[in-house]
Structure 1
């Protein structure tokens, strides 16, 4: 799995029409915090118990079609869930898996706030809120 800066991940998505962009955060994060424009939602884990989604791989396979060589770009809040989800995809035969460094909201700053130091939103990349 390769990790890309948000701007580089956005470039890859623009250059590769076959790339699949997956937001693997919880449904509540996806809906209420916002999400990158064009990202499909397949939660890696979700509430109320935050267990790993047993249907994650199946959900990604459904979106990817029969191609395990299709580029898959994963994003979560800060990068940790994307790493775990990406490793699971690679174990299942997906060969081009990328994670977005610092995720959608980025790392905590000195005041324990996100969206201020790095991440998709901090870099001003396209996103929307439902």
Structure 2
């Protein structure tokens, strides 16, 4: 057994790394209470399940382009404006910012407030634009 481990140390290390990476996503979801979605998955949620997009960026970022149909609630205002989203409590809600960091905070806030289907747009509007998806500038 010792010879096997010695001769295959690199392969065993790679196996441990792969198992860790697979478990990481599951652990993160359990800890955070929400999933991350890429732009393609977000588009499917919007089109198939009538998901609501909540853009938590600042007004100057919003005016440079946002996901069509998104609701604009800057992160700092979210706790005071949760009532605006109350009627969507059981619908999928996708939080979104520039890169996905602020929107992860927003997703946690929504989850703690009792919203049940929360998703964070991985990579934010940057990933959305990178996927060639449309932006609204109105």
TM-score if structure 1 supplies the norm length?
Answer: 0.74
Counterpart in the other structure of 1:62: 84
TM-score if structure 2 supplies the norm length?
Answer: 0.70
Counterpart in the other structure of 1:126: 134
Give the alignment of 1:86-101 within 5 angstroms: 86-101=107-122
Q: For residues 68 and 6 of structure 1, what CA distance do their matches in structure 2 show?
A: 22
Label 1:129 to 1:81 Cα distance change in 2 as closer, same or farther (>3 A).
same
User: Which consecutive unaligned segments of at least 5 residues does structure 2 have?
Assistant: 1-33
Shift of 1:58: 4.1
Label 1:6 to 1:60 Cα distance change in 2 as closer, same or farther (>3 A).
farther
Q: For residues 59 and 20 of structure 1, what CA distance do their matches in structure 2 show?
A: 15
Counterpart in the other structure of 1:35: 66
Greater strand content: 1
Aligned mate of 1:12, from 34, 38, 45: 45
User: Which consecutive unaligned segments of at least 5 residues does structure 1 have?
Assistant: 45-52, 106-118
Q: After superposition, what is the alpha-carbon deviation per residue over 1:94-130, rounded to whole angstroms, capped at 9, x for unaligned?
A: 111001110002xxxxxxxxxxxxx000101111224
Greater helix content: 2
Count of matched residue positions in the alignment of Structure 1 and Structure 2: 105
Q: Which has the larger radius of gyration?
A: 2
SS at match of 1:89: helix
